[in-house]
């Protein structure tokens, strides 16, 4: 029984490492790494592609071999943000939590094996922050 549990843990770890490697593009160039990070943000967050009008887009990676997180930020006009939220599978049927008068927070049922995903929108500054996490 212990051998079976150990073998299962090894298989799960191997799959996790392969998934992380594909999402961060370990052997790719920086453009490919950025594209891979974007793919992970969209898949793990079950999000539609960011609006064409998105500006000041940044994506940062955190974590190591056994955990991985991405933070994406951008600004866009309010109507484009709302259309993006409405077209994203992860957010379109959610009622956002409110944090003050201008902050909307969507806690998403993540996709792609991720453990957590959320979108926070500041309606005053039109800043959108996406956080996805895999472990």
Q: What is the pLDDT of residue 3?
A: 58
The length of the chain is 135
The pLDDT tens digits for 65-109 are 889 999 999 999 999 999 999 999 999 999 999 988 899 999 999
Contact predicate 98/119, CB 8 Å = no
- 26-58 in b/e burial notation, b at 16+ Cβ within 10 A? eeeeeeebeebbbebbbbbbbbbebbeebeeee
Matching residue, tokens 């969507």:
106
Q: What is the pLDDT of residue 1?
A: 58
CA distance 79 to 57: 18
Stated pTM of the model: 0.77
The pLDDT tens digits for 47-66 are 999 999 999 999 999 988 88
Query: Apex CA 114: angle with CA 108 and CA 51, to 5°?
Result: 55
């Amino acid at each position: 029984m212990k051998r079976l549990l150990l073998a299962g843990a090894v298989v799960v770890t191997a799959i996790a490492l392969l998934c992380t490697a594909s999402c961060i593009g370990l052997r790719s160039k920086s453009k490919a790494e950025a594209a891979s990070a974007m793919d992970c943000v969209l898949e793990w967050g079950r999000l539609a592609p960011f609006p064409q009008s998105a500006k000041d887009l940044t994506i940062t990676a955190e974590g190591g071999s056994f955990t991985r997180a991405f933070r994406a930020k951008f600004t866009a006009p309010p109507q484009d943000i709302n259309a993006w939220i409405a077209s994203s599978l992860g957010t379109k049927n959610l009622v956002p939590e409110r944090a003050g008068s201008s902050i909307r927070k969507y806690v998403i049922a993540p996709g792609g094996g991720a453990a957590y995903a959320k979108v926070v929108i500041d309606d005053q500054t039109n800043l959108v922050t996406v956080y996805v996490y895999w472990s």
